[in-house]
A and B are shown apart, each in its own frame.
Chain A
């Protein structure tokens, strides 16, 4: 596609429910990233996928969070047993294949605004 597509754009869920957030990166972008932006705070790295390599999950805040990337394209971020502190905007970004020092910039999606009530 022309850009990074995220769905849904808004999600309101009850505390304790599971949610799935979807990211469809730009075609040909092998690197995919999830970030979280809580109200009044900066962007927090969550997870990174690069091609067929094992993902970097070091930013996931708890074991309630998981992510998959199927076929090297679409990614799903799953939050189980949601808590109120999970309320945030979840942003997905993709970039072209990393080829050493001349890495390319990111393209971000519009985000999913998650509200846990």
Chain B
């Protein structure tokens, strides 16, 4: 059974710092890995999607890497801003006999202080 773990569970940093969020998964037979952002009381916003054949994806100040063989992904946020404060979720997509689903980590709650 696929399990996804995110470290740390919570992180508080001053504005302007670069930071790294970690995600690990137990079964390397994934199709893709996706990072989401969730603001309080809101749904999920997709940030980056990395296919299993890729090693990284970049969008603006965000960079996500994937090491499938070791079961790890990192989300790097450069020059953090207070508006980055949210919960960041990592999810892997695996294929099962009846279809496909995402398995989520518990998330990292990020607070960026002005």
User: A residues touching B (Cβ–Cβ < 8 Å)?
Assistant: 6, 31, 33, 35, 41-43, 45, 48, 50, 53-54, 56, 58-59, 91, 93, 98, 101-111, 113
Contact = CB atoms under 8 A, between A and B. Distances in A.
B44 A101 contact: no
Interface residues of B, number: 29
Contacts of A54: 98
B93 A103 contact: yes
B114 interface: no
Nearest to B94: A103
Given A42-B105, A91-B44, A103-B31, A56 B99 contact: yes
16 contacts: A33-B101, A42-B104, A45-B101, A45-B102, A45-B103, A48-B98, A48-B99, A50-B100, A56-B98, A59-B101, A104-B49, A105-B49, A106-B34, A106-B91, A109-B43, A111-B43
Nearest to B36: A108
A110 B46 CA distance: 12
B105 A31 contact: no
B49 A48 contact: no
Contact of B32 (A35, A58, A105): A105
Given A43-B104, A54-B98, A108-B36, 18 more contacts: A35-B102, A42-B107, A43-B91, A43-B102, A45-B101, A48-B98, A50-B100, A53-B98, A56-B98, A56-B99, A93-B44, A103-B32, A103-B93, A103-B100, A105-B46, A108-B44, A108-B45, A111-B43
A43 B36 CA distance: 12
A58 B31 CA distance: 20
B22 interface: no
B52 interface: yes
Interface string B65-104: 0000000000000000000000001010101101111111
